[in-house]
Amino acid sequence: MRVAAIFVLLLLPFAGSAGEQSSMRFDVRLLGLRAGVIEIGANVTNGGYAARSHFKTAGLVGVLRRLRANVTVQGMVAGGDLRPHDYTEAIDDGRRVTDVHVRFAPGQPRLVAGDTGSSAPPADTSGLRNAIDPLTLLYIALRDQPRDEVCRFKADVFDGHRHAVITLDRRRAEGDAIVCDGAYRRVAGYSEIERRSSDVDISVTYVPAGNTMRAERVAFDTRLGPAVMERR
Concatenated DSSP letters for 29-81?
EETTEEEEEEEEEEEE-SSEEEEEEEEEB-HHHHHH---EEEEEEEEEEETTE
At a CB cut-off of 8 Å and minimum separation 6, what does 58 contact? 34, 35, 36, 37
- What pLDDT, in 10s, does the model give residues 4-55? 444 544 333 333 344 555 677 888 888 888 888 777 778 888 889 988 877 7
Give the integer Cα–Cα distance in Å for 151 and 161.
Answer: 27
pTM score, whole prediction: 0.86
- What pLDDT, in 10s, does the model give residues 101-110? 999 988 899 9
Give the integer Cα–Cα distance in Å for 100 and 98.
Answer: 6
List residues bridging with 113 in a β-sheet: 101
The closest of 4, 47, 9, 31 to 194, measured between CA atoms, is 4
Give the integer Cα–Cα distance in Å for 27 and 92.
Answer: 20
